[in-house]
């Protein structure tokens, strides 16, 4: 007997397209999955440059694991602890894990600030952490402000199951995409005019996809703004250990500490929350270690109860607790990570520069570059950007992510990941880019003409508010396919 599925028997979420896989961001992944590059088995395949993974220091991790077999309960040296770990299910987490993660978060920030282990709340990666925070801070239909360009998965992480809306704050290349206070204020006022209740502001610092950081003065001004307007400030700091150059990174935790020590107590700490994970800083997306660190006791307690839906496995907690408790290893790892990221970034941007391709100059963090291909567009439009992206995917055989998938209002920018491959693969990728640019060199627009064009207001930017806020369903990806938070 053949049964026909009746969609009326399913929920709107099950039959809807809220996860949004119909996007160039995920189409690039599918192109790679169907034809993956391999230096021997498939040298003409697609090279994966759309995945923000940190694979540059796994030799350090593997070396530590070999020296510390007891960190795993599945080795002869660690099996004695198997029973205790296997039956552990307290959603507070193993004390060693919480202590080690708190100390590691402080070390990443140069020991300029400390974190309370009792405020460490686990989640299933930063994806789970973000959704948990959204559930705690806003009701369906309420909104969070987010500067553009921003990580496409936020639409899934923060909106899909929570019903929370995202209000974009448009930033542009004239200011290196830096968030300006006047733009923040304008977006907030526009949301209020449209009867949208804004509950908070979400920042990624360091930024994905820009690879830039916010300076201390900007953070202070933003914190003052959210404080004055009584809205929450959520800081995604999952790339904080990927800062490889000056200026130094400043965490919102440092602004909080500064306010406390000054005696002014001008900030309402109940409004400040941090999302962290080990997916990017240590390159462990598969371990699903996400952290919610809130200064608000009610949020902290609620998030901890909600963590039952996405706990970090006790086995992972045990291993991470052991690894991050080794301060000699942590110091060596963080130093090597910074040095190797700086070297890879320099090699990659240098290779692009030699063929006339520019990247955002203010970038000093992250696992990617924000590559400027505006000179290769036939016209300044999203359609032209998409056409160029298809050529890069299908002919150049590189999976890079177009800026429109990150809600960028200026066509022609692409996020290109450089830390998820070996040196040989990077050179192959650069070789393909060189060949592509040489083939299309005559079509490249002069830089002066491009500057004149980029000063115009593009039609895409005028549609941002309508498409991503007023529409009941966002066309940008909210996919469950995302590996960790990429």
Q: Report which DSSP code applies to 69.
A: G
297 is catalytic: no
From the list 25, 37, 151, 239, the catalytic residue is 151
Helical axes 216-228 vs 181-193, angle rounded to 10°: 20
Task: Give the burial class of 83: count Cβ atoms within 10 A of its Cβ; 0-12 exposed, 13-18 middle, 19 or more buried.
Answer: exposed
From the list 27, 157, 172, 236, the catalytic residue is 236
State phi, psi for 75 to the nearest 5 degrees: -120, 160
| Closest among 299, 250, 247 to 129, alpha carbons compared | 299
Residue 253 half-sphere exposure, CB side, CA atoms within 13 Å? 25
* Alpha carbons 290 and 294: distance in angstroms, whole number: 13
52 token code pair: 């923000």
Reply yes or no: is the peptide bond before residue 206 cis, omega within 30 of 0.
yes
CA-CA-CA-CA dihedral for 7, 11, 16, 21, to nearest 10: -110
Distances in Å between the alpha carbon of 376 and those of 157, 306, 326, 457?
33, 48, 49, 19
255 is catalytic: no
User: What region does 479 belong to: left with phi over 0, alpha with psi -120 to 50, or beta?
Assistant: beta
151 is catalytic: yes
Tokens 């066509």 found at = 411
236 is catalytic: yes
Strands in 120-124's sheet, in edge-to-edge order, are 120-124, 289-294, 272-277, 232-236, 198-204, 143-147, 165-169
Per-residue buried b or exposed e for 29-39, using 16+ beta carbons within 10 Å of the residue's own CB = bebbeeeebee
* Alpha carbons 106 and 233: distance in angstroms, whole number: 20
- Angle at the Cα of 25 (from 24 to 27), degrees rounded to 5? 55
Residue 176 in contact with residue 359, Cβ under 8 Å? no
From the list 103, 199, 280, 397, the catalytic residue is 280
Pairing between strand 289-294 and 398-399?
A: unpaired
Residues written for the chain:
486
**Start-to-end Cα distance in the chain:** 43
* Alpha carbons 172 and 148: distance in angstroms, whole number: 8
From the list 196, 238, 291, 476, the catalytic residue is 238
174 token code pair: 């004239």
Per-residue buried b or exposed e for 204-213, using 16+ beta carbons within 10 Å of the residue's own CB = bbbbbbbbbb
Which positions are catalytic?
A: 151, 236, 238, 280
């Amino acid at each position: 007997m053949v049964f026909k599925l009746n969609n009326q028997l399913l929920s709107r979420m099950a039959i809807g397209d809220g996860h949004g896989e119909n996007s160039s961001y995920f189409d690039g992944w599918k192109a790679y999955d169907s034809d993956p590059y391999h230096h021997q088995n498939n040298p003409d395949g697609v090279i994966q440059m759309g995945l923000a993974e940190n694979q540059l220091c796994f030799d350090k991790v593997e070396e530590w694991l070999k020296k510390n077999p007891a960190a795993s309960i599945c080795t002869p040296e660690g099996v004695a602890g198997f029973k205790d770990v296997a039956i552990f299910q307290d959603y507070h987490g193993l004390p060693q894990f919480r202590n080690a993660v708190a100390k590691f978060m402080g070390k990443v920030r140069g020991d300029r600030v400390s974190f309370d282990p009792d405020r460490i709340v686990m989640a299933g990666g930063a994806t789970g952490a973000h959704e948990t925070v959204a559930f705690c801070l806003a009701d369906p239909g309420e909104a969070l402000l987010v500067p553009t360009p921003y990580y496409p998965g936020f639409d899934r992480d923060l909106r899909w199951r929570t019903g929370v809306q995202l209000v974009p704050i448009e930033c542009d290349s004239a200011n290196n995409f830096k968030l300006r206070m006047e733009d923040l204020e304008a977006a907030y006022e526009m949301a209020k005019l449209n009867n949208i209740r804004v509950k908070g502001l979400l920042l990624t610092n360091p930024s994905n996809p820009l690879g830039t950081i916010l300076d201390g003065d900007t953070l202070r001004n933003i914190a003052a703004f959210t404080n004055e307007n009584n809205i929450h400030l959520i800081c995604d700091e999952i790339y904080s250990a990927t800062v490889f150059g000056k200026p130094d990174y400043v965490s919102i935790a440092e602004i909080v500490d500064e306010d406390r020590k000054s005696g002014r107590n001008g900030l309402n700490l109940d409004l400040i929350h941090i999302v962290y994970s080990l997916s990017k800083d240590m390159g462990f997306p598969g371990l699903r270690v996400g952290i919610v660190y809130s200064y608000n006791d009610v949020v902290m307690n609620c998030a901890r109860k909600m963590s039952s839906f996405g706990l970090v496995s006790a086995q992972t907690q045990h291993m991470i607790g052991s690894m991050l408790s080794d301060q000699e290893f942590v110091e060596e790892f963080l130093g090597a990570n910074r040095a190797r990221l700086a070297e890879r970034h320099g090699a990659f941007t240098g290779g692009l520069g030699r063929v006339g391709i520019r990247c955002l100059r203010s970038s000093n963090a992250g696992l990617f570059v924000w590559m400027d291909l505006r000179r290769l567009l036939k016209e300044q439009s999203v359609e032209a950007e998409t056409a160029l992206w298809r050529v890069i995917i299908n002919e150049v055989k590189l999976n890079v992510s177009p800026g429109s998938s990150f809600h960028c209002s200026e066509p022609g920018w692409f996020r290109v990941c450089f830390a998820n491959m070996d040196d040989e693969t990077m050179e192959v990728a650069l070789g393909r880019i060189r060949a592509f640019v040489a083939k299309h060199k005559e079509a490249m627009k002069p830089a002066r003409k491009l500057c004149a064009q980029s000063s115009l207001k593009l039609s895409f930017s005028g549609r941002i508010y309508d498409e991503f806020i007023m529409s009941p369903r966002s066309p940008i990806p909210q996919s469950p396919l995302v590996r960790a938070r990429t």
